[in-house]
Amino acid sequence: MLITIGNFKGGSAKTTMAFHIAAYMQTLAPTILGDGDIVRGSVKWAARRPGVPFKVVPLAQLAKEMRSARYEHTVIDTEANPSDQDFK
């Protein structure tokens, strides 16, 4: 399953929501969270909290990581104010 968290407004809890959804999805099957936000909030949050039960990577590394391991679920934390290209 692929879940993308997006919103045009910054500070709307996208990262928090993505993190919690990924944590729940990990209880069902292997899950990876791709951090597409320019401030890398998910990556920083995971680095500060040892024992995060799922893999968190910058969006640029997501495809490579998915090829090297089997993930059933992918959660993507997007940046604020996404462009039309981001939606494609």
Tens of pLDDT, residue by residue over 10-40, are 778 889 999 999 999 999 999 999 999 888 8
User: What distance in Å separates the CA atoms of residue 69 and residue 31, rounded to the nearest whole number?
Assistant: 10
At residue 4's C-alpha, the angle toward residues 29 and 46, to 5°, is: 65
CB neighbour class for 61 (10 Å; exposed up to 12, middle 13-18, buried from 19): middle
Measured on CA atoms in the order 9, 16, 69, 64, is the torsion positive or negative? Answer: positive
Whole-angstrom CA distances from 30 to 23, 24, 33, 45, 55 are 10, 10, 10, 19, 9
Q: What does pTM read for this prediction? A: 0.85
Q: What is the pLDDT of residues 68-81, one digit of tens each?
A: 889 999 999 988 77
